[in-house]
Amino acid sequence: MRLLIVGEGSVSEEVRSFQAYKYFSELDTFKGEKLETILQVLPHLGGDVEIHSDIDVVILSRPMWPPLIKVYQDNGAVVIADQDDDFMAIPNTHVAYKSIGPGNPKRTQDHQISLTMVDQLIVSTPILAERFATRKLQSPENITIIPNAWANRNPLWDGSSLKSSRIVIGWGGTITHRGDFKIAIPALEAVVWPKYDVDIRIVGDPKIYQMLRNVAEYGKLFIPMVEYKVYPLVLTMCDIWLAPLVDDHFNRSKSDIKLVEAGAAGIPWIASPVPQYEAWKHGGILADSHDAWHAALLALIESPELRASLGASGRTHAEARKFDNVFPLWEHVVEKAYELKQNADTLLLRRQQNRMELFGMADESSNAGNKPDGRTPSQDDVHRRSGRGHKRKRK
Protein backbone atom coordinates (compact mmCIF):
# COMPACT_ATOMS: atom_id res chain seq x y z
CA MET A 1 0.00 0.00 0.00
CA ARG A 2 1.28 3.47 -0.92
CA LEU A 3 -0.05 6.42 1.04
CA LEU A 4 0.61 9.99 -0.14
CA ILE A 5 0.08 13.00 2.12
CA VAL A 6 0.09 16.36 0.30
CA GLY A 7 0.13 19.92 1.62
CA GLU A 8 1.91 23.27 1.57
CA GLY A 9 3.44 23.02 5.04
CA SER A 10 1.11 25.52 6.71
CA VAL A 11 0.52 25.63 10.46
CA SER A 12 -2.73 23.75 9.88
CA GLU A 13 -0.93 20.91 8.15
CA GLU A 14 1.82 20.77 10.78
CA VAL A 15 -0.89 20.30 13.41
CA ARG A 16 -2.94 17.77 11.43
CA SER A 17 -1.95 15.79 8.33
CA PHE A 18 1.82 16.20 8.69
CA GLN A 19 1.58 14.83 12.23
CA ALA A 20 -0.38 11.90 10.85
CA TYR A 21 2.42 11.37 8.31
CA LYS A 22 4.93 10.95 11.12
CA TYR A 23 2.81 8.23 12.67
CA PHE A 24 2.05 6.41 9.43
CA SER A 25 5.72 6.53 8.46
CA GLU A 26 6.59 4.52 11.57
CA LEU A 27 4.43 1.63 10.40
CA ASP A 28 5.98 -1.13 8.30
CA THR A 29 2.61 -2.63 7.46
CA PHE A 30 -0.99 -1.49 7.44
CA LYS A 31 -3.85 -3.98 7.64
CA GLY A 32 -1.56 -6.78 6.54
CA GLU A 33 -0.07 -4.87 3.59
CA LYS A 34 3.43 -3.44 3.33
CA LEU A 35 3.13 0.32 3.79
CA GLU A 36 5.08 3.09 2.14
CA THR A 37 4.20 6.62 3.24
CA ILE A 38 5.21 9.65 1.16
CA LEU A 39 5.06 13.32 2.13
CA GLN A 40 4.78 15.86 -0.69
CA VAL A 41 5.24 19.52 0.18
CA LEU A 42 3.85 21.95 -2.39
CA PRO A 43 5.48 25.40 -2.42
CA HIS A 44 3.34 28.51 -2.70
CA LEU A 45 4.92 29.64 -5.98
CA GLY A 46 4.19 28.24 -9.43
CA GLY A 47 5.91 25.30 -11.06
CA ASP A 48 5.45 21.66 -12.00
CA VAL A 49 3.99 19.18 -9.56
CA GLU A 50 5.45 15.72 -9.31
CA ILE A 51 2.79 13.06 -9.80
CA HIS A 52 3.64 9.94 -7.81
CA SER A 53 2.81 6.65 -9.45
CA ASP A 54 0.95 3.66 -8.03
CA ILE A 55 -0.59 5.59 -5.15
CA ASP A 56 -3.44 3.87 -3.33
CA VAL A 57 -4.63 6.62 -0.98
CA VAL A 58 -4.02 10.39 -1.08
CA ILE A 59 -4.67 12.78 1.83
CA LEU A 60 -4.83 16.32 0.46
CA SER A 61 -4.94 19.22 2.91
CA ARG A 62 -7.22 22.21 2.28
CA PRO A 63 -7.73 21.29 -1.39
CA MET A 64 -8.13 23.99 -4.02
CA TRP A 65 -7.00 22.14 -7.10
CA PRO A 66 -9.45 19.92 -9.02
CA PRO A 67 -6.90 18.88 -11.70
CA LEU A 68 -4.62 17.26 -9.12
CA ILE A 69 -7.51 15.34 -7.57
CA LYS A 70 -8.71 14.12 -10.96
CA VAL A 71 -5.24 12.95 -12.01
CA TYR A 72 -4.87 10.80 -8.90
CA GLN A 73 -8.41 9.46 -9.15
CA ASP A 74 -7.88 8.60 -12.82
CA ASN A 75 -4.70 6.77 -11.79
CA GLY A 76 -6.66 4.62 -9.35
CA ALA A 77 -6.15 6.38 -6.03
CA VAL A 78 -8.80 7.13 -3.43
CA VAL A 79 -8.52 10.81 -2.51
CA ILE A 80 -9.27 12.16 0.96
CA ALA A 81 -9.46 15.88 1.76
CA ASP A 82 -8.64 17.29 5.19
CA GLN A 83 -10.33 20.64 5.89
CA ASP A 84 -10.10 22.56 9.17
CA ASP A 85 -11.60 25.94 8.22
CA ASP A 86 -14.69 27.21 6.42
CA PHE A 87 -13.08 29.36 3.74
CA MET A 88 -16.47 30.15 2.24
CA ALA A 89 -17.48 31.88 5.48
CA ILE A 90 -14.49 34.25 5.65
CA PRO A 91 -15.95 37.77 6.16
CA ASN A 92 -15.00 40.68 3.90
CA THR A 93 -13.21 42.36 6.82
CA HIS A 94 -10.81 39.43 7.17
CA VAL A 95 -7.24 39.61 5.85
CA ALA A 96 -7.73 36.33 3.94
CA TYR A 97 -10.98 37.35 2.24
CA LYS A 98 -9.37 38.12 -1.13
CA SER A 99 -6.82 35.30 -1.06
CA ILE A 100 -8.74 32.18 -0.05
CA GLY A 101 -12.19 33.55 0.78
CA PRO A 102 -15.23 34.64 -1.22
CA GLY A 103 -13.31 37.71 -2.38
CA ASN A 104 -11.40 35.38 -4.70
CA PRO A 105 -14.15 33.71 -6.80
CA LYS A 106 -11.74 31.49 -8.75
CA ARG A 107 -10.16 29.95 -5.64
CA THR A 108 -13.56 29.64 -3.98
CA GLN A 109 -14.86 27.75 -7.00
CA ASP A 110 -11.80 25.49 -7.09
CA HIS A 111 -12.17 24.80 -3.38
CA GLN A 112 -15.85 23.90 -3.64
CA ILE A 113 -15.25 21.67 -6.64
CA SER A 114 -12.33 19.99 -4.87
CA LEU A 115 -14.39 19.22 -1.77
CA THR A 116 -17.05 17.71 -4.01
CA MET A 117 -14.65 15.60 -6.07
CA VAL A 118 -12.84 13.84 -3.20
CA ASP A 119 -13.93 10.39 -2.11
CA GLN A 120 -13.85 11.14 1.61
CA LEU A 121 -13.67 14.32 3.68
CA ILE A 122 -12.03 14.82 7.07
CA VAL A 123 -12.97 17.88 9.11
CA SER A 124 -11.81 19.18 12.47
CA THR A 125 -15.15 20.16 14.04
CA PRO A 126 -18.79 19.03 14.07
CA ILE A 127 -19.84 22.46 12.79
CA LEU A 128 -17.72 22.00 9.65
CA ALA A 129 -19.22 18.56 9.08
CA GLU A 130 -22.74 19.98 9.33
CA ARG A 131 -22.00 22.94 7.06
CA PHE A 132 -20.35 20.94 4.27
CA ALA A 133 -23.13 18.36 4.33
CA THR A 134 -25.81 21.07 4.30
CA ARG A 135 -24.14 22.72 1.31
CA LYS A 136 -24.12 19.28 -0.35
CA LEU A 137 -20.36 19.38 -0.90
CA GLN A 138 -20.20 15.84 0.48
CA SER A 139 -22.71 13.30 1.70
CA PRO A 140 -22.76 13.02 5.51
CA GLU A 141 -21.62 9.38 5.40
CA ASN A 142 -18.45 10.47 3.58
CA ILE A 143 -17.45 12.98 6.29
CA THR A 144 -15.32 12.05 9.31
CA ILE A 145 -14.59 14.37 12.24
CA ILE A 146 -11.01 14.19 13.52
CA PRO A 147 -10.34 16.85 16.19
CA ASN A 148 -7.08 18.75 16.39
CA ALA A 149 -4.54 17.28 18.78
CA TRP A 150 -1.22 18.20 20.35
CA ALA A 151 2.04 16.50 19.41
CA ASN A 152 2.62 14.76 22.72
CA ARG A 153 5.83 13.02 21.59
CA ASN A 154 7.59 16.37 21.42
CA PRO A 155 9.70 16.67 24.61
CA LEU A 156 9.55 20.49 24.48
CA TRP A 157 6.12 20.48 26.10
CA ASP A 158 7.94 20.23 29.42
CA GLY A 159 9.44 23.72 29.57
CA SER A 160 8.75 24.63 33.19
CA SER A 161 12.43 25.28 33.88
CA LEU A 162 12.38 28.20 31.43
CA LYS A 163 9.83 30.30 33.32
CA SER A 164 10.64 33.99 33.75
CA SER A 165 10.68 35.79 37.10
CA ARG A 166 8.04 38.08 35.62
CA ILE A 167 4.49 36.99 34.82
CA VAL A 168 4.36 36.32 31.09
CA ILE A 169 1.14 36.76 29.12
CA GLY A 170 1.37 35.11 25.71
CA TRP A 171 -0.41 35.05 22.39
CA GLY A 172 0.59 33.25 19.19
CA GLY A 173 -0.82 33.05 15.69
CA THR A 174 -0.75 34.23 12.10
CA ILE A 175 -1.82 37.44 10.36
CA THR A 176 -5.35 36.03 10.05
CA HIS A 177 -6.04 36.86 13.72
CA ARG A 178 -5.43 40.62 13.67
CA GLY A 179 -9.11 41.41 14.05
CA ASP A 180 -9.48 38.86 16.84
CA PHE A 181 -6.56 40.22 18.84
CA LYS A 182 -8.14 43.67 19.11
CA ILE A 183 -10.51 42.18 21.69
CA ALA A 184 -7.70 41.75 24.21
CA ILE A 185 -5.82 45.03 23.69
CA PRO A 186 -7.67 47.28 26.19
CA ALA A 187 -7.25 44.75 28.99
CA LEU A 188 -3.57 44.20 28.19
CA GLU A 189 -2.87 47.93 28.18
CA ALA A 190 -4.69 48.30 31.51
CA VAL A 191 -2.72 45.61 33.35
CA VAL A 192 0.75 46.29 31.96
CA TRP A 193 0.97 49.92 32.97
CA PRO A 194 0.40 49.40 36.71
CA LYS A 195 1.78 45.85 36.80
CA TYR A 196 5.45 46.26 35.98
CA ASP A 197 6.18 42.60 36.70
CA VAL A 198 4.02 41.62 33.71
CA ASP A 199 5.49 40.88 30.29
CA ILE A 200 3.53 40.38 27.04
CA ARG A 201 4.95 38.06 24.38
CA ILE A 202 3.57 38.07 20.85
CA VAL A 203 4.50 35.12 18.66
CA GLY A 204 4.18 35.16 14.87
CA ASP A 205 2.81 38.45 13.53
CA PRO A 206 4.81 41.68 13.96
CA LYS A 207 1.77 43.83 13.12
CA ILE A 208 -0.11 42.41 16.09
CA TYR A 209 2.90 43.30 18.24
CA GLN A 210 2.74 46.84 16.82
CA MET A 211 -0.92 47.05 17.79
CA LEU A 212 0.27 47.27 21.43
CA ARG A 213 1.47 50.80 20.76
CA ASN A 214 0.42 51.99 24.23
CA VAL A 215 2.53 49.34 25.96
CA ALA A 216 6.11 50.35 26.70
CA GLU A 217 8.86 48.38 25.01
CA TYR A 218 10.05 46.91 28.30
CA GLY A 219 6.59 45.41 28.80
CA LYS A 220 6.42 43.44 25.56
CA LEU A 221 8.51 41.13 23.41
CA PHE A 222 8.05 39.96 19.81
CA ILE A 223 9.03 36.42 18.82
CA PRO A 224 9.03 35.63 15.07
CA MET A 225 7.11 32.64 13.81
CA VAL A 226 8.94 29.50 14.85
CA GLU A 227 8.85 25.97 13.48
CA TYR A 228 5.95 23.99 14.82
CA LYS A 229 8.26 21.59 16.61
CA VAL A 230 9.69 24.55 18.59
CA TYR A 231 6.32 26.14 19.33
CA PRO A 232 5.71 24.16 22.57
CA LEU A 233 8.88 25.65 24.03
CA VAL A 234 7.59 29.17 23.41
CA LEU A 235 4.17 28.30 24.81
CA THR A 236 5.46 26.75 28.02
CA MET A 237 7.51 29.86 28.79
CA CYS A 238 4.24 31.74 29.40
CA ASP A 239 2.11 31.92 32.55
CA ILE A 240 -1.16 32.98 30.90
CA TRP A 241 -2.32 32.28 27.33
CA LEU A 242 -4.76 34.41 25.35
CA ALA A 243 -7.28 33.15 22.79
CA PRO A 244 -9.49 36.05 21.65
CA LEU A 245 -11.87 35.29 18.78
CA VAL A 246 -14.49 37.50 17.17
CA ASP A 247 -17.81 35.66 17.40
CA ASP A 248 -18.70 35.41 13.71
CA HIS A 249 -19.83 32.68 11.32
CA PHE A 250 -16.27 31.94 10.19
CA ASN A 251 -14.69 31.68 13.65
CA ARG A 252 -17.51 29.54 15.01
CA SER A 253 -16.31 26.66 12.83
CA LYS A 254 -12.73 26.85 14.07
CA SER A 255 -11.30 24.25 16.41
CA ASP A 256 -10.38 24.49 20.08
CA ILE A 257 -6.68 23.85 19.43
CA LYS A 258 -5.41 26.97 21.21
CA LEU A 259 -7.03 25.87 24.47
CA VAL A 260 -5.92 22.28 23.93
CA GLU A 261 -2.31 23.40 23.54
CA ALA A 262 -2.52 25.69 26.57
CA GLY A 263 -3.75 22.70 28.54
CA ALA A 264 -0.93 20.55 27.22
CA ALA A 265 1.51 23.21 28.44
CA GLY A 266 -0.22 23.34 31.82
CA ILE A 267 -0.96 27.06 31.65
CA PRO A 268 -4.31 28.81 32.15
CA TRP A 269 -6.02 30.61 29.33
CA ILE A 270 -8.43 33.50 28.79
CA ALA A 271 -10.68 33.11 25.75
CA SER A 272 -13.71 34.47 23.97
CA PRO A 273 -16.97 32.57 24.60
CA VAL A 274 -17.33 31.02 21.15
CA PRO A 275 -18.98 27.56 21.02
CA GLN A 276 -15.81 25.50 20.67
CA TYR A 277 -14.16 27.22 23.63
CA GLU A 278 -17.30 26.94 25.75
CA ALA A 279 -17.38 23.23 25.00
CA TRP A 280 -13.73 22.76 26.04
CA LYS A 281 -14.14 24.96 29.18
CA HIS A 282 -11.41 23.27 31.29
CA GLY A 283 -8.33 25.18 32.34
CA GLY A 284 -9.21 28.82 31.89
CA ILE A 285 -11.63 31.74 31.98
CA LEU A 286 -14.13 32.82 29.31
CA ALA A 287 -14.43 36.60 28.88
CA ASP A 288 -17.25 38.25 26.93
CA SER A 289 -16.38 41.95 27.33
CA HIS A 290 -13.43 44.30 27.82
CA ASP A 291 -14.24 44.45 31.53
CA ALA A 292 -14.36 40.66 31.73
CA TRP A 293 -10.98 40.37 29.99
CA HIS A 294 -9.52 42.90 32.40
CA ALA A 295 -10.95 41.10 35.45
CA ALA A 296 -9.72 37.71 34.23
CA LEU A 297 -6.21 39.02 33.65
CA LEU A 298 -6.07 40.63 37.08
CA ALA A 299 -7.33 37.46 38.76
CA LEU A 300 -4.68 35.30 37.11
CA ILE A 301 -1.89 37.83 37.61
CA GLU A 302 -2.63 38.22 41.31
CA SER A 303 -3.22 34.56 42.17
CA PRO A 304 -0.50 31.99 41.50
CA GLU A 305 -2.81 29.43 43.13
CA LEU A 306 -5.53 30.10 40.55
CA ARG A 307 -3.00 29.84 37.73
CA ALA A 308 -1.74 26.52 39.07
CA SER A 309 -5.23 25.11 39.62
CA LEU A 310 -6.51 26.03 36.17
CA GLY A 311 -3.29 24.91 34.52
CA ALA A 312 -3.54 21.50 36.16
CA SER A 313 -7.19 21.15 35.13
CA GLY A 314 -6.35 21.99 31.52
CA ARG A 315 -3.44 19.54 31.50
CA THR A 316 -5.64 16.71 32.71
CA HIS A 317 -8.31 17.49 30.13
CA ALA A 318 -5.73 17.67 27.33
CA GLU A 319 -4.73 14.04 27.86
CA ALA A 320 -7.57 12.88 25.64
CA ARG A 321 -6.25 15.07 22.80
CA LYS A 322 -2.77 13.63 22.62
CA PHE A 323 -2.01 12.79 19.01
CA ASP A 324 -1.32 9.25 20.26
CA ASN A 325 -5.01 9.05 21.17
CA VAL A 326 -6.34 10.73 18.03
CA PHE A 327 -4.20 8.87 15.46
CA PRO A 328 -6.51 5.80 15.41
CA LEU A 329 -9.13 8.03 13.77
CA TRP A 330 -6.70 8.75 10.94
CA GLU A 331 -5.98 5.04 10.62
CA HIS A 332 -9.69 4.30 10.38
CA VAL A 333 -10.23 6.79 7.55
CA VAL A 334 -7.29 5.41 5.58
CA GLU A 335 -8.53 1.88 6.19
CA LYS A 336 -11.96 2.78 4.78
CA ALA A 337 -10.31 4.41 1.76
CA TYR A 338 -8.12 1.37 1.08
CA GLU A 339 -11.11 -0.96 1.35
CA LEU A 340 -12.96 1.25 -1.11
CA LYS A 341 -10.07 1.04 -3.56
CA GLN A 342 -10.22 -2.75 -3.52
CA ASN A 343 -13.59 -2.61 -5.27
CA ALA A 344 -13.17 -0.44 -8.34
CA ASP A 345 -16.78 -0.90 -9.46
CA THR A 346 -18.10 0.26 -6.10
CA LEU A 347 -15.73 3.23 -6.11
CA LEU A 348 -16.77 4.34 -9.60
CA LEU A 349 -20.46 3.93 -8.81
CA ARG A 350 -20.05 5.88 -5.59
CA ARG A 351 -18.40 8.77 -7.43
CA GLN A 352 -21.13 8.79 -10.07
CA GLN A 353 -23.94 8.64 -7.54
CA ASN A 354 -22.35 11.29 -5.35
CA ARG A 355 -22.02 13.75 -8.21
CA MET A 356 -25.46 12.98 -9.59
CA GLU A 357 -26.99 13.56 -6.17
CA LEU A 358 -25.05 16.72 -5.39
CA PHE A 359 -24.89 18.41 -8.78
CA GLY A 360 -27.02 16.40 -11.19
CA MET A 361 -23.96 15.17 -13.06
CA ALA A 362 -24.32 12.08 -15.16
CA ASP A 363 -20.87 10.56 -15.05
CA GLU A 364 -17.35 10.95 -13.73
CA SER A 365 -16.20 13.04 -16.68
CA SER A 366 -18.74 15.74 -15.91
CA ASN A 367 -18.11 19.34 -14.96
CA ALA A 368 -17.17 18.64 -11.33
CA GLY A 369 -13.70 17.90 -12.57
CA ASN A 370 -13.63 20.35 -15.44
CA LYS A 371 -11.71 23.55 -15.69
CA PRO A 372 -13.68 26.83 -15.89
CA ASP A 373 -13.13 26.95 -19.65
CA GLY A 374 -14.90 23.61 -20.06
CA ARG A 375 -11.81 21.46 -20.66
CA THR A 376 -11.38 18.31 -18.60
CA PRO A 377 -8.13 18.63 -16.63
CA SER A 378 -5.41 16.10 -17.28
CA GLN A 379 -1.93 15.44 -15.98
CA ASP A 380 -0.69 18.10 -18.39
CA ASP A 381 -2.74 20.65 -16.47
CA VAL A 382 -0.86 19.96 -13.27
CA HIS A 383 1.61 22.80 -13.61
CA ARG A 384 0.67 25.58 -11.25
CA ARG A 385 2.89 24.53 -8.35
CA SER A 386 6.02 22.51 -7.80
CA GLY A 387 6.48 19.89 -5.13
CA ARG A 388 8.97 17.60 -3.58
CA GLY A 389 8.20 13.99 -2.79
CA HIS A 390 9.83 12.91 0.45
CA LYS A 391 10.03 9.23 1.25
CA ARG A 392 10.83 7.92 4.68
CA LYS A 393 12.45 4.53 4.38
CA ARG A 394 11.12 1.71 6.45
CA LYS A 395 13.43 0.26 9.03
Residue type, 365: S
Residue ranges and CATH numbers for the domains of the chain are 2-149+324-391 (3.40.50), 155-321 (3.40.50.2000)
Q: What is the C-alpha separation between 124 and 61, in angstroms, rounded?
A: 12
Q: What is the C-alpha separation between 388 and 6, in angstroms, rounded?
A: 10
| Long-range contacts of 72-75, Cβ-Cβ distance < 8 Å, separation of 24 or more | 72/4, 73/117, 73/119, 73/351, 75/51
152 CA to centre of own chain? 17
Coil, strand, or helix at residue 134?
A: helix
Question: How does pLDDT run along the chain (395 residues), one tens digit per residue?
Answer: 999 999 988 889 999 999 999 999 999 999 899 999 999 998 765 567 889 999 999 999 999 889 999 999 999 999 999 999 999 999 999 999 999 999 999 999 999 999 999 999 999 999 999 999 999 999 899 999 999 999 999 999 986 656 778 899 999 998 999 999 999 999 999 988 766 689 999 999 999 999 999 998 888 999 999 999 999 999 999 999 999 999 999 999 999 999 999 999 999 999 999 999 999 999 999 999 999 999 999 999 999 999 999 999 999 999 999 999 999 999 999 999 999 998 877 788 777 776 666 565 434 333 434 443 333 344 455 544 433 444 433 33
Beta bridge partners of 122: 82, 144
